[in-house]
Amino acid sequence: MSLSVALAHRLPGLDLDIAFEAPPGVTTLFGRSGAGKTTVVNAVAGLLRPDRGRIVAEGEVLCDTESGIWLPPHRRRLGYVFQEGRLFPHLSVRQNLTYGRWFAPGRRDGDDFARILDLLGIEPLLTRRPAALSGGEKQRVAIGRALLSRPRLLLMDEPLAALDEARKAEILPYLERLRDEARVPILHVSHALAEVARLATTVVAIQDGRVIRTGPAAEVLADPEAVPALGVREAGAVLTGRLAAHHDDGLSEIALTAAPLFLPRIAASVGAQVRVRIAAQDVMLALEAPRSISALNILPATVIAVRQGQGPGVVVQLRSGEDVFLARVTRRSADAMNLGPGTPCFGIVKSVAVAQSDVGRGRQP
Amino acid sequence: MTPLTPQELDAIALSLKVAFWATLFSLPPGILAAHALARWQFPGRQLLNGLVHLPLILPPVVTGYLLLLTFGTRGPVGAFLQETFGLVFAFRWTGAALAAAIMAFPLMVRAIRLSIEAIDPKLEEAAGTLGASRPWVFATITLPMMLPGVIAGAILAFAKAMGEFGATITFVSNIPGQTQTLPSAIYALLQVPGGEAAALRLVLVSVVIAMAALLLSEWLSVRAARRVAGR
């Protein structure tokens, strides 16, 4: 499956001109509010007719303004998970879930229904009404409803934005399972970098209606050139490793390619793939391996690039074995240490600096 | 109090019959007009809005006379209907039903339109992305959700149809057993000396029917609203 989008659309205060390809996996449209992300998703869904554009999903042309092709939303077979859920209040959860199946082609697979209920943990909610659900439950039902319409592509417009932190933490693991198990490609919109780091396989960074950077998530997030667009405070690379062991003192050990990473206990089993986002500002650099230091994680690394920003800080891109990560230090330190491409050094990460919400499941190999 | 005379019972039965059919037949066009006014963008939308509301602001006598001109046996529509379907409105109970339906139509459309406007169009959009075509969206989302408004509109129209007087008497006159509805009967009784007592009894009947309709509509609306809100 692939999705190919090229569109131009003029909105009040925004001139949108965007083109990207979405390979299988989760493609995240990332950008600030008002950058035009939702407009793109609505155009893909058929809820908005772009001034000019061509959208192709799985070889089928959904929209081509040049040749006048326009498939109405109900014939596009795309599941759309809206920010506010949009469950039908007059129907029960079960009726909401099965709504799209009336119109879906192919068999009515009871097995499929049971699998998705289990995947999202919504079995106990079936007889309830949407009004009696919590925000997180509503969103899970909305995802199940979209999946059960047998879409060839799932669209998710900030599915977590309307939820508080606790609810987000409740739903993120379900979305990770969805990415790894449901085999439906996902086009996902977000302005939260932590969410992008957890979910995305491909990132399309959008600013003021233009695509400024696109590529595999690990690459884009570890690119110092992309840092200003992503937000300096939030920037950070995503490292994927294997959970090697749970230690008795409450730490979990993740095997990276060059060194182990010790983090507070991770809720995953030994051997599982784990994604960890390490914020650039949580990484310290040293030219020699520090001894007698409280930080547990010392990654031997080589500087790939140093990027000067506007302010007093610089972003340093480093390679440790196969893993690429970012460190944000002051320009003064970078000068004093004489950091430049090829400089060998050590990246130091405090275990407790990595938030629980920045650790997620890795994609199954 | 003596029991109701056969003529009085006729008037009550006729009124109920007229109001029932008037309400039933104006529901489909009422829902259609309300939906068009609430959701569609088309040229002549304001004109349609004006036409629907016209009976509310015109003197009922004028509406009745216009009906007579149009649907009378020599009127263009009336003559056509009589020749083609054998359907006669002038001076028949069917004419009373037509007059009542026209007079009640604006009230019905207003109530239904309000309930349609209260439905979030985003829900209809969501149903579309799940594969439902427009008619399906209407049948499975819009119609069930506007049900409280439809019920309220229908009861309102029924009550209005029960009480319609001006257009009815102008269009179909006041023929006992044929077009003499409850209000016409009360009016007729008030024209004869000593008819006040009999008129009062019919007034009481009117009040009881109107109150019953009101209570029924409240009860149905609350139930429907509760269902739609998902409680």
Residue A57 and residue A7 in one domain? yes
> Which residues of chain A does B119 touch, with a Cβ-Cβ cutoff of 8 Å?
none
CATH number at A215 reads 3.40.50.300
Q: Is the pLDDT of residue A310 over 80?
A: no
Residue A186 and residue A262 in one domain? no
Nearest CB among B120, B132, B144 relative to A90 is that of: B144
Residue A53 and residue A174 in one domain? yes
> Which residues of chain A does B225 touch, with a Cβ-Cβ cutoff of 8 Å?
none
pLDDT at A316: 92
* Residue closest to A359 by CA, chosen among A282, A275, A283: A275
Nearest CA distance, B219 vs chain A (angstrom):
18
Residue A205 and residue A275 in one domain? no
Q: Count CA atoms within 13 Å of residue B9 on its CB side.
A: 5
Q: Is residue A85 part of a domain?
A: yes
The DSSP element (H or E) to which A245 belongs, if any, is: strand A236-246
Cβ atoms of A302 and A339 within 8 Å: the answer is: no
pLDDT at A110: 64
A130 — contact with chain B (CB < 8 Å)?
Answer: yes
pLDDT at A364: 47
B144 — contact with chain A (CB < 8 Å)?
Answer: yes
Residue of chain B with shortest Cα separation from A41 = B129
Tell me how crowded residue B88 is: count the other CB atoms within 10 A of its CB: 15
Q: Is the pLDDT of residue A360 over 50?
A: yes
pLDDT band at A24 (very low <50, low <70, confident <90, very high): confident
Residue A149 and residue A278 in one domain? no
Which residue(s) pair with A328 in the sheet?
Answer: A315
Q: Which two tokens stand for residue B219?
A: 């009860």
Nearest CA distance, B206 vs chain A (angstrom):
36
Q: Do A89 and B229 touch (CB under 8 A)?
A: yes
Q: Do B130 and A103 touch (CB under 8 A)?
A: yes
Residue A114 and residue A243 in one domain? no
**pLDDT tens for residues B142-186?**
999 998 889 989 998 999 999 899 999 999 988 888 889 999 999
Question: Crossing angle of helices B93-117/B6-39, nearest 10°?
Answer: 40
Residue A168 and residue A247 in one domain? no
CATH number at A271 reads 2.40.50.100
pLDDT at A180: 83
B136 — contact with chain A (CB < 8 Å)?
Answer: yes
pLDDT band at A304 (very low <50, low <70, confident <90, very high): very high
* Those residues with Cβ within 8 angstroms of residue A288's Cβ, 6 or more apart along the chain or in another chain: A346
Q: Is residue A251 part of a domain?
A: yes
Task: Give the C-alpha separation, A307 to B165, whole Å.
Answer: 86
Nearest CA distance, A126 vs chain B (angstrom):
13
Domain boundary (A193, A221, A249) is at A221
B132 — contact with chain A (CB < 8 Å)?
Answer: yes
Task: Give the C-alpha separation, A55 to A136, whole Å.
Answer: 32
Domain boundary (A221, A246, A266) is at A221
Chain A, window 1-60: residues with a beta carbon less than 8 angstroms from a chain B beta carbon: 45-47
Query: What residue ranges define each of the domains in chain B, with the CATH number in brackets?
Result: 6-229 (1.10.3720.10)
Q: Is residue A110 part of a domain?
A: yes
Q: Do A76 and B129 touch (CB under 8 A)?
A: yes
Percentage of chain A beyond pLDDT 70 is 97
Cβ atoms of A172 and A26 within 8 Å: the answer is: no
Q: Is residue A43 part of a domain?
A: yes
Among A84, A90, A91, A97, pick the best mutation site for testing chain B contact (most B Cβ within 10 A): A90
pLDDT at B1: 58
Among B130, B138, B150, pick the best mutation site for testing chain A contact (most A Cβ within 10 A): B130
3-state helix, strand, coil in chain A (%, to 5): 30, 35, 35
Nearest CA distance, B134 vs chain A (angstrom):
9
Task: Give the C-alpha separation, B101 to B91, whole Å.
Answer: 16
A77 — contact with chain B (CB < 8 Å)?
Answer: yes
Report CA torsion sign: B158, B160, B165, B170.
Answer: negative
Q: Is residue A228 part of a domain?
A: no
Task: Give the C-alpha separation, A12 to A31, whole Å.
Answer: 18
**pLDDT tens for residues A103-143?**
877 656 666 788 888 888 888 999 999 988 988 899 999 99
**pLDDT tens for residues A180-214?**
887 788 999 988 888 888 889 999 998 888 998 89
Cβ atoms of A234 and A32 within 8 Å: the answer is: no
Amino acid at A347: G
Q: Do A73 and B228 touch (CB under 8 A)?
A: no
The DSSP element (H or E) to which A27 belongs, if any, is: strand A26-30
B143 — contact with chain A (CB < 8 Å)?
Answer: no
- Residue range(s) defining the domain that contains residue A96: 3-221
> Which residues of chain A does B132 touch, with a Cβ-Cβ cutoff of 8 Å?
74, 99, 102-103
pLDDT at A63: 92
Mean pLDDT of A240-259: 90
Q: Is the pLDDT of residue B3 over 90?
A: no
Nearest CB among B122, B141, B230 relative to A130 is that of: B230
* Residue closest to B7 by CA, chosen among B161, B175, B163, B176: B176
Q: Are strands A251-255 and A60-64 parallel, antiparallel or unpaired?
A: unpaired
Q: Which two tokens stand for residue A88?
A: 């039908």
Q: Is residue A165 part of a domain?
A: yes
* Residue closest to A281 by CA, chosen among A348, A346, A335: A348
**pLDDT tens for residues A346-355?**
999 988 778 7
DSSP line for A322-361: TEEEEEEEEHHHHHHTT--TT-EEEEEE-GGGS-GGGEEE
Q: Is the pLDDT of residue A1 over 70?
A: no
Amino acid at B206: S
Residue A81 and residue A184 in one domain? yes
Nearest CB among A45, A91, A149 relative to B131 is that of: A149
Residue A195 and residue A334 in one domain? no
Among B122, B124, B129, pick the best mutation site for testing chain A contact (most A Cβ within 10 A): B129
Residue A277 and residue A203 in one domain? no
Look at chain A and report how many structural domains it folds into.
2
pLDDT band at A363 (very low <50, low <70, confident <90, very high): low
Q: Is the pLDDT of residue B134 over 60?
A: yes
Mean pLDDT of A276-304: 90
Domain boundary (A221, A255, A272) is at A221
Percentage of chain B beyond pLDDT 90 is 56
B125 — contact with chain A (CB < 8 Å)?
Answer: yes
pLDDT at B148: 87
Q: Do A100 and B126 touch (CB under 8 A)?
A: no
**pLDDT tens for residues B57-107?**
999 999 999 999 999 888 888 888 888 888 888 888 999 999 999 999 999
Q: Is residue A231 part of a domain?
A: no
Residue A56 and residue A113 in one domain? yes
- What separation in angstroms does the CA of A316 have from each of A223, A259, A308? 10, 19, 9
Residue of chain A with shortest Cα separation from B133 = A74
Q: Is residue A226 part of a domain?
A: no
Residue A125 and residue A156 in one domain? yes
